[in-house]
Structures are given as structure tokens and as C-alpha cells.
Amino acid sequence: MIWNEEFETLPREALEALQLKRLKNLVERVYTAVPYYREKMDKAGVKPTDIKSLSDLRKLPFTTKEDLRLNYPFGLFAVPFEKVVRIHASSGTTGKPTVVGYTKNDIDAWAELMARTLSAGGAHPGDVVHNAYGYGLFTGGLGAHYGAERLGAAVIPISGGNSKRQIMLMQDFGSTVLMCTPSYALNLADVMKEMNVDPKSLKLRVGLFGAEPWSENMRQEIEARLNIKAIDIFGLSEVMGPGVASECIEEKHGLHVFEDYFIPEIVNPETFEPVPHGELGELVFTTLTKEAFPVIRYRTKDLSRIIDAPCSCGRTFHRMQRITGRTDDMLIIRGVNVFPSQIEHVLMSIEGVEPHYQIIVDRQASLDIMEVQVEVSENIFSDEIKVLEKLGKRIEREIKDLLGVSCKVKLVEPKTIQRSEGKAKRVIDNRKL
């Protein structure tokens, strides 16, 4: 179902005219209201009147997470504070938290975007949405919550954790839609197995998963173990929260970016020059309607590419390929770029390997050493040692074939890797770089 057919199926010419109108308004507004943006634009030699076409967007300077931290907490807000009705913030685990604000109109737009997301994923009025995204300063929980209500669904605001209770409520309340991180979905599948709960006995039909990169093989694992359709959704708090882009259930191939609200760009992460559609690079977003906290050319550090081919669902928005990694979680092992999602792709293609793993990197005598710890099924773990050795060697070989870098694989017994109730911690980098 298309939630807002008028805008989601706009002909490209009309869509781009709308984007340009909103872009001009945005640039004028932030230049007037936000001294930091005005100084950056003056330094770059660009004025609001220089924005005459969508291609003029590239004249504008980028915004980075560092800019947000430099203006902590409210320096980039573009409205008087009395118009701000909601504040969210990051955890600040790598520095000052990044703080974002919303006006009433922003909250209304966010609910609209999440209603679109849920509809694209196959949800509809009357569904029971089991929302296991975290509530609080994290944008996931409340973003999904308001969208489900806008859709006309009943929301269970369960948040993360206490998995056995979650499964009990799924049984008792008849949950039909699951929303959480993909790693937590697999955690729930594990707990269902422990509780002898057959996923086929539940009413769950579809899951909308985001907030961390995941692979196609992981999708297949989730769909098989939870007996649902698994949909990839995308968002980030600096741009809006969840609701920036979503796969459609018809194709599950690329995420439709809601381009009447956001302009996506892909740039070369080294030169920062725009790259053609279809080419991999860093994803950059400009918000077109946000009032309290607009961003211009925000560098996400997520790696993706634009898909401009038509989609059978009827939406005319371009799609972005699922996130394959981030420029800042990219590991460089002996000169080779390694993304956790690439290793996950190998692991999930091998029978007997469980979807729980961790990558540990050390440096010994100036040499990077990568170890992949991965759980295997109980049947495999209780097998003969030579069977385990053969499996470990196979994984090492397939990782070497894909990445061109060798690693040590350590097979561990089930439930050894710490489970996540939010974003999974895939990498432990012990190097002092």
C-alpha cells in the first residue's frame, strides 16, 4: 500500500520542481537564522541567491558531526527555542552528544514519513505493531511509535530488553509487525527457541529492521527463523530519525528515499565530489522541510549508491542501496579495507554457522591480526574435532577469497557471544592506531 500516493508517485519533473522550491527556502532560512551556517556559506563564497537549480546544491559546504558538536547543544537550531517541542540526542560515546530538535510541524512530518515507511513494508491500519526500538533520547522508539499511530495501527511500546516478556506479549497481544534492530530480531528468535515457541504459532507477518548495517544473508536468516518478511529501513537522528528511506515489500531491493523531504547525494569519500548514480560512495543528505534542526549536505559516513531504475511498486522516488558499511567502521587490515558486513556475508552463507559473531583486531610486531569468533550450532559443536577444524578452515578460506586478507577463525559454542538488545557490537579493535 502507498500511504501518500499524491507525493510518493510524483513525476520526476514535478518532484524536482518541489525540491528546488523547498531547497531555496531552506538555504535562505538557515542563512538568516543560523550564524554558523551563514559564516560557512560566506567562507565558501555562496549566497542564497546563488541557488538557482538543484545542481547548485553542490556549491554549499558540507555539514559534519563535528559541526554539530562544535555547536552543542543548540547552536544549529533555526527557530526560537519556544517553538521546539522535542529534543533527542546521541549517546555521546565518542565525544559530545549530537543534539537535534523538532517543532510541532517537524513531529507531524516525522509521523507522516514513518506511516509511509510502515506502509511500504506491508503494514496497514489494524495491525498490532510490536515496537522494540529503544525509547528515550534515541530517535528509533518514538519515531516508529508516532508513525504506527498515524497509520492507524495499535502500538505496543515495549522498547528493548526482557526478551521472554516480549515473546509472551507477542503471543497474548497478537503482534503482527515487529520493529527493532536486525541483531535483536535474531536474539528474539533464539529466545523463542529456548521457550519452545514456534514462530509459526504467532501472528507476526512482517518485520521492519534498521539502525545498523545488515546483509542479505542475515535477512534470509531472520525470515526463515521468525517466519516473516524482513524489510530494511533507514534513518539517522541528525536528518530526522527513522523514516528517511525504506524498502518496499514488493521488491525488497533498495530503499526508497522520501525525496520530497530529503535530497540524497553520493560523494567520493576522499575527494567529496559527487559520483554518478550506481556508483558506491558516502551518503549525504539535505533536509528540505525541517524547521528546528535543518541540515545542509550532512555527511552520514554511510556507504551506499543511488538506484534510479523504476520500481514495480509505483513509487517514483530513487532508491538507495542497503548500507554496506560506514567509512568510520571500516577496518584497514594490512592495507585492505574490511567491513563487518562483508564478513557477515561469508558467515551467513555457510551451513552450521550461527548469526552471532565478533571481529577482534590486534597488532603484533607491527602486523595486524584479525580473529573472527563465530558461534556454531549445537550439532556442529558436539561433532568431531576434525569436522570443526574443517569448518574453521573453510571460513578462513572464503574470507580470504572475498577480502584478500587472511584471518584466524575461532568457532565457539552457542550463546558465547554477548547478545545485543540494541545495536550489535561487531568489532573490538585493540590496536593503538
Provide the 8-state DSSP code for 398: H
Give me the pLDDT at residue 380, please.
Answer: 80
Give me the pLDDT at residue 381, please.
Answer: 77
Higher pLDDT, 113 or 333: 113
Choice among 43-52, 303-312, 354-363 with the minimum mean pLDDT: 354-363
Q: Are strands 255-257 and 325-326 parallel, antiparallel or unpaired?
A: unpaired
Percent of the chain with pLDDT over 70: 97
Higher pLDDT, 128 or 337: 128
Percent of the chain with pLDDT over 90: 72
**Model confidence over 225-257: pLDDT tens digits?**
999 999 999 999 999 999 999 999 999 999 999
Provide the 8-state DSSP code for 422: S
Any bridge partners for residue 410, and if so which?
Answer: 373
CA atoms within 13 A on the CB side of 11: 2
Give me the pLDDT at residue 217, please.
Answer: 84
Residue 433 has pLDDT above 60, yes or no: no
pLDDT classification of 95: cutoffs 50, 70, 90:
low
Give me the pLDDT at residue 366, please.
Answer: 63
Residue 365 has pLDDT above 70, yes or no: no
Give me the pLDDT at residue 291, please.
Answer: 98
Rounded Cα–Cα distance for residues 340 and 215 (Å): 10
**Model confidence over 159-213: pLDDT tens digits?**
988 999 999 999 999 999 999 988 889 889 989 999 999 999 999 999 999 987 7
**Mean pLDDT of all residues in the chain?**
92
Q: Cell for 131?
A: 515496537
Angle between helix axes 12-33 and 35-44 (nearest 10 degrees) is 110
Buried b / exposed e over 386-411, threshold 16 CB at 10 Å, is: eebeebbeebbebbeeebebebebeb
Q: Where are the beta strands (DSSP E) in 305-425?
A: 306-307, 319-320, 325-326, 331-333, 336-338, 353-364, 367-376, 408-412
pTM of the model: 0.84
